[in-house]
């Protein structure tokens, strides 16, 4: 019997018992839709995390004072300590580490800002104006970056310019920070990028001015943070190690008394990415359980079908169909359930991810995911049909025809 | 009720003596060979028709030809001819459930003839039919027989048996009498 004819025969069964076919297919639809939706959410999560972290720059390394022994890298950013003691000796030592392009000694803190009659508190990020421009990853919306020799010039973050005050802060607007007068020379775009040490409501100025306006006391030649840019982000981890080795004798500490933390953004990215991947995988595994339930549904339907169609199987054999052909007939039928379930499940999965995107989470549906989902559901369908099909193929035609329902 | 099955079983699996089909001992055949022979050399007509419920009348007649991979053009032509022979030319697109018992049995006979078998085995073909439908089936059989087809038929109905060229009586699996 030609494969196409067997296929037509399978299809005639699927079409004839519509209710049962639909119920069987629904099991697969739910499974596939769940797998597609969850994997697309996982991929979306991964992409958005990478996009956000990508803005931080994989080629940046930060050195912060303080060291938390309980953490393994994440502590770096949060573990800023009260006693600020990174110095320009440290800065110069870091400059000598091979692979380091620029080193930016930064002074961060908070201060008051007054615009007209309004007053609020802001983060201050004091930077080395000579190198900051080469390291900042956030674009300018208006104006220019800071330059060496600027007097009383600041750059402000997007939200500070547009949303913090009733009146937006425009370029060249005089503002008062920590009692001193400044002029806005640039406004950053709003993005997940890393401007150089601060959060959303941040004013960037030269480190010297920052020392004068922030509430904490940072003496000359001291920094709260050293940020450096390296030539090759692939070497981030080894350069971070080299910096640690270089700074320890410089600061007269050993691994037990270490009082600074070196954090490569690339390694943070790797850790976060691997966490996101594990979460996605875990969720996909849960979704796969519902696909498994769908597969059991197909197997059940097919076993029922073989029972009910015993006489038809006998007839097919009496008419000359071989064991193989009978087996193919049932496997194709279960494969059809998998195929239709896969197609409809994919459509629902896409709908769910579109809905999720509309809500604000990101979900990314790739063609590879769709091909994988369809192939997998057909595979699941075929696999669940194997056992019933074998029992059908093994039937003796005489007994099968004699079978009373 | 199911004597024919035992005959088939005995015939196909050769329990008692070596049985020969076209000079070959059938016990030498593989199960797939037997399937081919069943389909091509022997036509089956059952008491309960055993039409394929998900296929139309014409597709039911085409089924054995498709199983034996007849050329597509032959399948079309032969199935239409057979449908006309059993007087159901207008019912080709109907499903078995839309036909009466007599009509279903005529479709079954057309199907049994599709591969051009040398023997037609009929297991109480009129057993589930009323007298009128039964005699219609017998008319078809007589016509086919007169055209040279061998028909082996099981029946409980002596009136039906009378139309046979040769009658063998059986009781509890044993031959109790022969006529003609």
What is the full DSSP assignment across chain B?
--HHHHHHHHHHH-SSS--EETTEEGGGS-HHHHHHHHHHHEEEE-TT----TTS-HHHHHHHHHHHTT--HHHHHHHHHHHHHHTT-GGGTT--GGGS-HHHHHHHHHHHHHTT--SEEEEESTTTTS-HHHHHHHHHHHHHHHHTT-EEEEE-S-HHHHHTSSSEEEEETTEEEEEE-
Residue-wise pLDDT tens digits, B89-116:
899 999 999 999 989 999 999 999 898 8
Q: Quick one: average pLDDT of A355-370?
A: 87
A2 near B CB under 8 A: yes
| Chain B, nearest residue to A18 by Cα | B54
Task: Name every chain A residue with its beta carbon within 8 A of the beta carbon of B36.
Answer: 320, 322
Of B9, B52, B111, the CB nearest to A312: B52
Mean pLDDT of chain A: 85
Residues A46 and A115 both lie in one domain: no
Tell me: ipTM over 0.85.
Answer: no
Rounded CA-CA distance A265/A260 in Å is 16
A350 confidence band (pLDDT: 50, 70, 90): very high
Per-residue pLDDT band at A191 (split at 50, 70, 90): low
Residue A40 placed within a domain:
yes
Mean pLDDT rounded to a whole number for chain B: 84
Q: What residues make up the domain containing B83? A: 3-179
Instruction: Pull the structure tokens for residue A241.
Output: 């190690």
Residue A394 and residue A279 in one domain: yes
Residue A195 confidence class, pLDDT cut points 50, 70, 90: very low
What is the predicted pLDDT for the residue at A374? 93
At A13 the three-state DSSP class reads helix
Residues A118 and A194 in one domain: yes
Task: For residue B2, list chain A residues with Cβ-Cβ distance below 8 A.
Answer: 402
Nearest alpha carbon to residue A210 among A84, A108, A64, A62: A108
* Residue A386: Cβ within 10 Å count: 15
C-alpha to C-alpha distance for B5 and B122, rounded to whole angstroms:
10
Which of A88, A134, A79, A94 is CA-nearest to residue A107? A88
**What's the CA gap between A16 and B53, in Å, rounded?**
9
A142 and A210 in a single domain? The answer is yes
Residue A405: pLDDT band by 50, 70, 90 thresholds? Answer: low
Cβ-Cβ contacts under 8 Å, B50 against chain A: 311-312, 314-315, 401
- How many CB atoms within 10 Å of residue B107? 26
Inside any domain, residue A230 = no
Distance from CA of B39 to the nearest CA of A (A): 4
Q: Are the beta carbons of B52 and A2 separated by less than 8 Å?
A: no
Question: Is the domain of A220 the same as that of A275?
Answer: no
Q: Which of chain A's residues have a Cβ under 8 Å away from the Cβ of B9? A: 398
B121 to chain A: closest CA residue: A318
DSSP summary character for residue A233: G
A51 compared with A334, residue with greater pLDDT: A334
| One domain, residues A289 and A386 | yes
CB of A319 less than 8 A from some CB of B: yes
To test the contact with chain A by mutation, choose from B3, B39, B57, B116 the residue with the greatest count of A C-beta atoms within 10 A, namely: B39
Concatenated DSSP letters for A270-324?
HHHHHHHHHHHHHHHHHHHHHHHHHHHHHHHHHHHHHHHTHHHHHHHHHTT--HH
Q: What is the mean pLDDT of residues A7-27?
A: 90
The whole-number average pLDDT for the span A159-168 is 85
Residue with the two structure tokens 């850790």:
A271
Rounded to a whole number, what is the distance in Å from the CA of B121 to chain A's nearest CA?
A: 11
Instruction: Identify which of B9, B59, B63 has the shortest CB distance to residue A319.
Output: B63
What does the alpha-carbon distance between residue A187 and residue A142 come to, in Å, rounded to a whole number? 5
Search chain A and give the residue with CA nearest B40: A320
Domain total in chain B: 1
Do residue A296 and residue A363 come from a single domain? yes
Distance CA(A349)–CA(A355), nearest Å, equals 10
Q: What band does A33 get if pLDDT is binned at 50, 70 and 90?
A: very high
Q: Report the residue from B36, B53, B59 with minimal CB separation from A320.
A: B36
Residue A321 with chain B: CB contacts under 8 Å: 35, 39, 67
Residue B9: pLDDT over 60: no
Q: Note whether residue A284 is domain-resident.
A: yes
**CB-based contacts of A18: which residues, under 8 Å, 6+ apart?**
none
Task: Flag whether pLDDT at A244 surpasses 60.
Answer: yes
What pLDDT does residue B98 have? 94
Residue A235: half-sphere exposure toward Cβ, Cα within 13 Å: 12
User: Can you tell me the distance from the alpha carbon of B51 to that of B128, in angstroms, rounded to the nearest whole number?
Assistant: 14
Whether chain B has a CB inside 8 Å of the CB on A15: the answer is yes
| Local structure of residue A235 (DSSP, 8 states) | G
Determine, for residues B66 and A16 on separate chains, whether the beta-carbon distance falls below 8 Å: no
pLDDT at A386: 92
Q: What is the pLDDT of residues B132-164, one digit of tens each?
A: 888 888 888 898 899 889 999 999 888 888 888
Q: Are A398 and B8 within 8 A, CB to CB?
A: yes
pLDDT digits (tens, 9 = 90+) for B109-136: 999 989 888 889 998 898 888 888 888 8
Query: Alpha carbon of A142 to those of A101, A128, A188, A299, A394: distances in Å?
Result: 27, 21, 7, 65, 79
Q: What is the total count of domains within chain A?
A: 2
- Residue B171 belongs to domain with CATH number: 3.40.50.300
Contact B66 A323 (CB under 8 A): no
CB contact under 8 A, A2 and B66: yes
Query: What stretches of A189-241 adopt beta strand conformation (E)?
Result: 202-206, 222-223, 225-230
Q: How confident is the model at residue A79 (pLDDT cuts 50, 70, 90)?
A: very low
- Beta-carbon separation of A315 and B52 below 8 A: yes
Contacts of B54 in chain A (CB under 8 A): 9, 12-13, 15-16
Q: Which residue has the higher pLDDT, A148 or B21?
A: A148
pLDDT band at residue A84 under the 50/70/90 scheme: low
Check whether A88 has a pLDDT greater than 90: no
Summarize pLDDT for B168-178 with one digit per residue, the tens: 998 888 889 88
Neighboring chain A residues of B40 at a CB cutoff of 8 Å: 320
Q: Which of A2, A13, A14 is nearest to A312 (CA)?
A: A13
Query: Per the CB < 8 Å rule, is A401 touching B46?
Result: yes
Q: Write phi, then psi, for A171 (nearest 5 degrees).
A: -60, 145
How sure is the predictor about A403, in pLDDT bands with cuts at 50, 70 and 90? confident
- Residue A304 covered by a domain: yes
| Number of Cβ within a 10 Å radius of residue A48 | 16
Beta carbons of A362 and A49 less than 8 angstroms apart = no
Q: What is the DSSP letter of A66?
A: -
Mean pLDDT of the A61-78 span? 64
> Token pair of A164, please?
């913090």
Across the range A361-365, mean pLDDT stands at 84
pLDDT of residue A192: 52
Q: Where residue A56 falls among pLDDT bands split at 50, 70, 90?
A: low
Instruction: Identify the domain boundary among A191, A224, A257.
Output: A224
Residue A240 lies in a domain: no
Residues A275 and A392 in one domain: yes
- A16 in contact with B, Cβ within 8 Å: yes
Residue in the block written with tokens 């938390």: A68
Rounded Cα gap, residues B130 and B127, in angstroms: 8
Q: Please name the residues in contact with A170: beta carbons below 8 A apart, sequence gap of 6 or more.
A: A161, A184
Question: Which of A166, A197, A224 is where one domain is finished?
Answer: A224
User: How confident is residue A74, by pLDDT bands cut at 50, 70 and 90?
Assistant: very low
Q: Which of A224, A252, A283 is the last residue of a domain?
A: A224
The pLDDT of residue B10: 47
Report which secondary-structure segment, H or E, holds A109. Answer: strand A100-115
Which domain, by its residues, includes A127?
Answer: 107-224
Q: Distance between CA B12 and CA A320 in Å, rounded? A: 13
Q: Within A86-162, where are the H helices?
A: 88-95, 129-135, 158-159
Give the confidence band of A76 by pLDDT, cuts at 50, 70, 90. Answer: very low
Say yes or no: A9 contacts chain B, CB-CB below 8 A: yes
Please indicate, yes or no, whether residues A333 and A218 belong to a single structural domain of this protein: no
Residues in A closer than 8 angstroms to B11, CB to CB, are: none
Please tell me the predicted confidence (pLDDT) of residue A235: 84
**Backbone phi, psi, residue B172, to 5°:** 50, 45
Across the interface, whether the CB atoms of A320 and B8 are under 8 A apart is answered: no
Q: Which strand (E) or helix (H) includes residue A187?
A: strand A180-188
Selection from A137, A179, A128, A185 nearest residue A161 by Cα: A185
Round to whole Å and give the CA distance between B45 and A303. Answer: 28
Nearest-CA residue of chain A relative to B62? A5
Give the pLDDT of residue A59.
83
Instruction: Collect all residues of chain A within an 8 Å Cβ-Cβ radius of residue B67.
Output: 1, 5, 316, 319-321, 325
pLDDT (tens digit, 9 = 90+) per residue, A97-146? 888 888 998 898 889 998 888 888 999 989 988 888 888 777 788 888 88
Nearest to A315 among B8, B50, B59 (CB): B50
What residue has token string 């099991």?
A27
């Amino acid at each position: 019997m030609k494969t196409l004819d067997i296929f037509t025969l399978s299809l005639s069964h699927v079409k004839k018992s519509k209710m049962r076919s639909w119920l069987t297919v629904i099991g697969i639809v739910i499974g596939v839709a769940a797998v597609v939706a969850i994997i697309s959410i996982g991929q979306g999560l991964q992409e958005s995390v990478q996009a956000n972290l990508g803005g931080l720059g994989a080629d940046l390394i930060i050195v912060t004072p303080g060291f938390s022994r309980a953490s393994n890298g994440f502590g770096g950013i949060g573990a800023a300590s009260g006693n600020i003691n990174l110095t320009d000796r440290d800065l110069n030592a870091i400059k000598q580490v091979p692979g380091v392009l620029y080193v930016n000694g930064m002074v961060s803190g908070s201060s008051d800002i007054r615009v007209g009659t309004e007053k609020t508190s802001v983060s201050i990020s004091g930077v080395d104006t000579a190198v900051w421009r080469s390291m900042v990853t956030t674009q300018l919306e208006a104006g220019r970056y800071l330059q060496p020799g600027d007097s009383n010039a600041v750059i402000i973050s997007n939200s500070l310019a547009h949303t913090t005050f009733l009146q937006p802060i425009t370029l060249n607007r005089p503002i008062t920070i920590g009692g001193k007068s400044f002029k806005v020379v640039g406004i950053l775009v709003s993005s997940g990028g890393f401007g150089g040490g601060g959060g959303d409501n941040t004013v960037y100025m030269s480190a010297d001015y920052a020392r004068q306006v922030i509430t904490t006391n940072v003496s000359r030649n001291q920094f709260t943070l050293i940020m450096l840019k390296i030539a090759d982000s692939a070497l981030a981890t080894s350069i971070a190690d080299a910096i640690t080795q270089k700074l320890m004798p410089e600061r007269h500490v050993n691994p037990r008394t270490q009082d600074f933390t070196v954090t490569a953004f690339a390694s943070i990215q790797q850790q976060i990415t691997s966490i996101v991947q594990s979460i996605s995988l875990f969720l996909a595994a849960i979704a796969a359980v519902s696909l498994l339930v769908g597969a059991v549904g197909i197997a059940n339907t097919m076993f029922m079908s073989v029972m009910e169609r015993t006489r038809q199987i006998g007839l097919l054999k009496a008419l000359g169909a071989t064991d193989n052909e009978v087996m193919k007939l049932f496997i194709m039928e279960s494969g059809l359930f998998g195929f239709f379930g896969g197609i409809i499940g994919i459509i629902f999965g896409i709908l769910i991810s579109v809905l999720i995107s509309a809500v604000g989470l990101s979900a990314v549906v790739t063609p590879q995911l769709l091909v994988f989902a369809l192939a997998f559901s057909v595979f699941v369908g075929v696999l669940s049909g194997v056992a019933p099909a074998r029992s059908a193929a093994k039937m003796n035609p005489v007994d099968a025809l004699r079978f009373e329902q | 009720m199911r004597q024919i099955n035992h005959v088939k079983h005995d015939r196909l699996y050769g329990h008692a003596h070596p049985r020969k089909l076209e000079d070959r001992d059938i016990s030498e055949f593989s199960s797939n060979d037997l399937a081919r022979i069943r389909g091509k050399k022997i036509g089956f007509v059952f008491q309960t028709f055993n039409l394929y419920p998900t296929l139309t009348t014409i597709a039911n007649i085409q089924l054995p030809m498709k199983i034996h991979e007849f050329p597509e053009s032959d399948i079309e032509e032969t199935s239409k001819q057979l449908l006309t022979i059993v007087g159901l030319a207008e019912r080709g697109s109907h499903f078995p459930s839309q036909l009466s018992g007599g009509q279903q049995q005529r479709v079954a006979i057309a199907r049994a003839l599709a591969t051009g078998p040398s023997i037609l085995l009929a297991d109480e073909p009129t057993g589930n039919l009323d007298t009128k439908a039964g005699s219609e089936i017998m008319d078809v059989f007589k016509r086919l027989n007169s055209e040279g087809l061998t028909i082996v038929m099981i029946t409980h109905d002596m009136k039906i048996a009378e139309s046979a060229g040769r009658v063998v009586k059986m009781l509890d699996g044993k031959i109790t009498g022969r006529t003609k």
